[in-house]
Amino acid sequence: MPAAIWTGRNATPEQTAADITAALRDELGLTAPPLATTLPAESTGVPAGSLLPPRARFSGMPVPTHCFLYIDAQSPRPFELRASVLTGRSGIRRSLGLGHLLYAVPLEPTVTSIIELNTPGGATSARFAGDPATTDRLNQDARLVDAARALTPTTAGPDRNHTWQVARRLAIEPLPESPEGSVLLVQTLHRPTTRAWSLCAAAVLDFAGRVETALA
């Protein structure tokens, strides 16, 4: 499967959830797939108590959202994932496909305000913006900044001839209802691989660890 698309009888939330959780198991070296909860497209996209923000009113994708898959995992470190499942057609058959992947990863360092990877215009590259005391430490690590940019593509599409713009979203925010800690929010897209596709989970968790090191 070169892209995360399900057609015909496989175009069900159950099959999508099974394949996504299996992909997470393989990417992260887990002993078993994490559990996934299906949430309706008209819902907020998050259960009560989640670190993820409610879904945006408009997805920015060219096809409707069929549902959301929510995953709350504890290994190899705690994280949450909301996967948008889109609906469309592949030829004459109904199909489902993956849209935005939004991760929330708790971090040990505390931030006093929101730190974001900005989206400058023109040829200017994205950098962290916010409290200078924090952003200076992040922006000094060129490899960290490059990793942040790589995790947040600004175009999506099935091939080079069919693409559209997507919003960049990467932020470090104060942990809700807690004076200590913070949460990393990363919106990314799945990537085709040689045999299947990747949810970028390992890359997101590795990035979270690098942020903690930079802010320690």
Domain boundaries, the chain: 5-215
Q: Give the pTM.
A: 0.90
3-state secondary structure of 184: strand
Per residue in 133-167, pLDDT tens? 999 999 999 999 999 999 998 776 555 655 556 77
Pairwise CA distance, residues 180 & 215, whole Å = 13
Q: Out of 38-52, 86-100, 180-194, which region has the weakest mean confidence (pLDDT)?
A: 86-100
pLDDT at residue 194 in the model: 74
Per residue in 51-70, pLDDT tens? 999 987 766 666 789 999 99
Q: What are phi and psi of 170, to 5 degrees?
A: -150, 120
Q: In the structure, how many helices (H) and strands (E) does the chain have?
A: 4, 13
